[in-house]
């Protein structure tokens, strides 16, 4: 992302963000007035990119698409991806040590797997049922 004169040139931002932040960031930059009765999943990234806020924009990130699902909390990611041939099994990765997600830690860190699965279920319980089925 670049914004000449506003964002530091050539900077690399290494905290997790996601596509839903694009809307909130564009709304913030444009001065759009959002309905405060609605909940928006993304956040305006500009204060983070300008180093005005040094915290992480998100404490956790949650995904669910068909039978695929994931949650990221800090450096830990819990992933269910039947397309990888793992069936309905949840895989656990520490992204600080394994950004390529090649070393499943679910067997050696069952407590972390359970913690993230509980967090994923808590998020999922807040969601409505999908209104369409992805391919």
Give the model confidence (pLDDT) of 56-85 as tens digits.
Answer: 999 999 999 888 899 999 999 999 987 666
CATH 3.30.1120.10 spans which residues of the chain? 60-126
pTM beyond 0.85, yes or no: no
What letter does residue 27 receive in the DSSP assignment?
A: H
Q: Tokens for 132? A: 């369409």
Domain 60-126 CATH assignment equals 3.40.50.970: no
In sequence order, the β-bridge partners of residue 48 are none
Handedness of CA 83, 66, 116, 73 (dihedral sign): positive
Query: Strand 76-80 to strand 60-65: parallel, antiparallel, or no bridges (unpaired)?
Result: unpaired
Q: From CA 118, how far away is CA 120, in angstroms rounded?
A: 5
Place 87 in a pLDDT band, splitting at 50, 70 and 90.
Answer: low
């Amino acid at each position: 992302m670049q914004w000449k004169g506003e964002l530091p040139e050539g900077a690399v931002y290494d905290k997790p963000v996601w596509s839903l932040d694009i809307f909130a960031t564009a709304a913030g930059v444009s001065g759009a007035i959002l309905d405060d009765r609605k909940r928006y999943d993304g956040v305006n990234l500009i204060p983070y990119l300008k180093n005005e806020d040094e915290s992480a924009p998100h404490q956790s990130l949650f995904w669910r698409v068909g039978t695929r699902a994931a949650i990221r909390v800090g450096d830990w990611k819990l992933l269910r991806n039947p397309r990888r041939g793992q069936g309905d099994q949840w895989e656990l990765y520490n992204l600080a040590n394994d950004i390529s997600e090649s070393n499943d830690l679910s067997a050696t860190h069952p407590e972390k797997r359970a913690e993230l699965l509980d967090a994923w279920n808590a998020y999922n319980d807040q969601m409505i049922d999908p209104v369409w089925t992805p391919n």
